[in-house]
Chains A and B, each alone.
Chain A
Amino acid sequence: MSRAHFWRNFARVSFLCLVASFVLAPMLATALGGFKSNAELRMNAFALPESWNTAFYASIITDPGFWRYLGNSMLISVATVILTLLVGAAAAYVFAQIKFFGSKMLFSYLLLGLMFPFATAILPLFIKVRDIGLLDTYWAVILPQTAFGLSLAILLFRTFFEQLPKELFEAAYLDGCSYVRFFWRFTLPLSTPILATVGVFVFVQSWNNFLLPLVVLNSRDAFTWPLGLMQFRGEFVTEWNRTLAFVTLTILPAIAFFFAAQKYIVAGLTGGAVKG
């Protein structure tokens, strides 16, 4: 029995290792590739480089464009998170606390965004952003991104707000606290777990977003890092090592961020994510 158990576990772990290598090998080959010469790249994608050539990594790190792209992405992502949390929580609070005529209808209206892909509206969105004069600005990414993220945020926030103890509100209310004040002073501070979950989720979505920035940002100065990466690849098409160094330098922080915030990421994604 215990021998059978051992072999079953052995088979299980072997299979898991096999899948893990399928997952990790491409990333490993990428990180190593950034240290290799073209000749070495041709020989064996997995072999360690004969001499660790840091020139490619260094050339990316010292490139102001690289930092510009990262900075743009950071700014856009942080702004999207703040805006989504504030605007989404405010609306969700009204739906959770106040019953009024038409509230159900408005709530369903705001949830419509869960039903269809972002891409269905991308062309008119481009026209709209252009006509308002936002093309090539951070707002061209922040505002539509926020708007599309609102549905999920409001859904998650409302569920959470409804679970906050009603007695708290009644006590504050008797003391003359208004709804708006209560939202600021109590609901938001008490909701840090869900704010963190949604915030991390929105951040990752924004940080990785490609289609919207691709459509509404034209000049390099405004590029987010995925656009910068594509542009870079186009320019250095024969030099894989540079591109691999660039990719590695952008995925390492992403992986580090994931391990730091995994609790919230997993909660946010399994709580209702949009891609698959």
Chain B
Amino acid sequence: MSLSEIPALAPVAGPKSRPLRKKGSGGRLTAILLLLPPALILFSLFVILPLTESGYYAFFDWNGYGQPENFVGLRNFEQVVGHGVFHTALGNTAKIVIASLLIQMPLALFLALLIYRKTPTNSLFRLIFFVPYILAEVAAGLIWSFVFDGNYGVTASLAQSMGIENFFILADRDWAFVAVLTVVIWKYFGFHMMIYIAALQGVPEDMIEAAQIEGANKVQIVRYVQIPQIKPAIIVSAFFAIIGSLQVFDVIIPLTNGGPSNQTHTIVTYLYTFGLTRMKIGFGSAIGVLLFIAAVGVAIFYQRIFMKGAKA
């Protein structure tokens, strides 16, 4: 519905004989007291309260039953930070961040530059590249665990056609995480591409023409006109890439479930596996607090450095 259809709704305005209200009434207070509390209550109860409780539970050794009584100070944090699997999880999460920034984003930008113009072929490619993003992570993870299955999957066919022995990449300590990174890029590059396409379509065509007239070639136009023009979009997409990388979870569970021998955990699968499934609520909360600090740190850093002028 567009704004031009507003007159159609006019009859609701009612009879003119109704007395005018004094300025400043109109049920302001009623509106505030009626419309605002549902959001405030829901948000406080299910977002802010659990978050603060996380900070509280992190100082207790607690299995989740009864009240947390066994105060242990910073011991949970010490245990997390001293845990080898946590180091792996942290390193893996860092690998996802790096792969997102250095492989996924350039690929997305390159593709966006190839297909940002509105033609039927380009639209088709755009839709195809975006499909993995709307699939559920669990479905994506399962699809790729089939692809990587050394007995049945696509890798099995490849191995056979190349005449080499079956290989089980998801069971390989050194290579399993490469498989995870492949899936992450497959799943999310289309999202970043869409951000760039939206931005590239906003770059004024006459700026590009002007550069052409001055003798700039394609590469120069990209480098000196288009990329500077879409810088805000790149900054936003990098922000999403980092924050998203911090919370990769769903893909890992069907793909490797953190294995082999805990080599493919991320921070969130680590939290889930070592905190929740073993009901070590204090320990898990400490991981949650560390994740929170990382996420808020990134957000504040970003706000300070990049987002002063740009709309987030």
Contact = CB atoms under 8 A, between A and B. Distances in A.
Nearest to A193: B1
Contacts of A259: 127
Given A120-B51, A173-B21, A177-B14, A210 B46 contact: no
B170 interface: no
A197 interface: no
Given A117-B243, A171-B13, A262-B127, A112 B48 contact: yes
B134 A204 contact: yes
B135 A251 contact: yes
B9 A186 contact: yes
A56 B122 CA distance: 36
A251 B36 contact: no
Contacts of B135: 208, 251, 254-255
B42 to A, nearest CB: 4
Contacts of B49: 124, 128
A113 interface: yes
A25 B144 CA distance: 10
Interface string B5-34: 010010011111011110000111011101
B167 interface: no
Contacts of B180: none
Contacts of B134: 204, 254-255, 257-258, 265
Interface string B178-205: 0000000010101110110010000000
Given A123-B275, A229-B139, A20 B125 contact: yes
B143 A275 contact: no
Contacts of A230: 138, 253-254
B225 interface: no
B18 A93 contact: no
A47 B15 CA distance: 72
Given A123-B288, A144-B46, A270-B194, A88 B152 contact: no
A226 B18 CA distance: 55
B224 interface: no
A133 B114 CA distance: 53
Contacts of B272: 119, 122, 211, 214-215
A189 B1 contact: yes
Interface residues of A, number: 112
B64 A127 contact: yes
Q: Specify which of A13, A22, A174, A210 lies most central, judged by the most chain B CB atoms within 10 Å of its CB.
A: A210
Nearest to A119: B268
Contacts of B130: 258, 262, 266
B183 to A, nearest CB: 9
A148 B46 contact: yes
Contacts of A116: 51, 291-292, 295-296, 299
Contacts of A25: 154
Contacts of A109: 40, 43, 48
Interface in A217-276: 226, 229-230, 233, 240, 243-244, 247, 250-251, 254-255, 257-259, 262, 265-266, 269-270, 272-276
Contacts of A70: none
Contact of B136 (A115, A178, A226, A274): A226
A121 B292 CA distance: 9
A150 B43 contact: yes
Given A45-B152, A186-B9, A175 B125 contact: no
Contacts of A176: 14, 18-21
A179 B27 contact: yes
Given A117-B268, A123-B288, A251 B186 contact: no
Nearest to B48: A112
Contact of A19 (B47, B111, B137, B254): B111
Contacts of A128: 45-46, 49-50, 53
14 contacts: A20-B129, A23-B131, A87-B38, A91-B36, A116-B296, A127-B57, A128-B49, A147-B43, A147-B45, A180-B35, A208-B137, A211-B272, A230-B254, A276-B244
